[in-house]
Amino acid sequence: MANHKSSEKRNRQIKVRNESNKYHAKTMRNALKTIRSTTDKKEAAELLPKMNSMLDKLAKKNIIHGKKAANLKSSLVKHVTSLK
């Protein structure tokens, strides 16, 4: 239980940020599933720049680690190039 006004405000801020981070992380995971389940190379190539942009933004906001974003981008490029 918070005893100070500043700690009460901090708790409110943390709740809002947690919800926002959960939303963005879940959106990212759904987009990853979509692009990984795609078997059409043309469609995957269209989704790839949007996914890369999303990962860069999430890394910039510290929702995911920068190196995780780099690893995901790398694996997605490898997946898209392997499609026929």
pTM summary value: 0.83
For residues 23-60, one letter each, b for 16 or more C-beta atoms within 10 angstroms of the residue's C-beta and e for the rest, the string is: ebeeebeebbeebeebeeeeebeebbeebeebbeebbe
What letter would DSSP give residue 67?
H
pLDDT of residue 2: 78
Percent of residues, the chain, with pLDDT higher than 70: 100
CB 76 within 8 A of CB 48: yes
Show me where the domains of the chain are located: 44-84
Is the pLDDT score of 1 beyond 80?
no
Average pLDDT over residues 27-37: 96
Distance CA(82)–CA(84), nearest Å, equals: 7
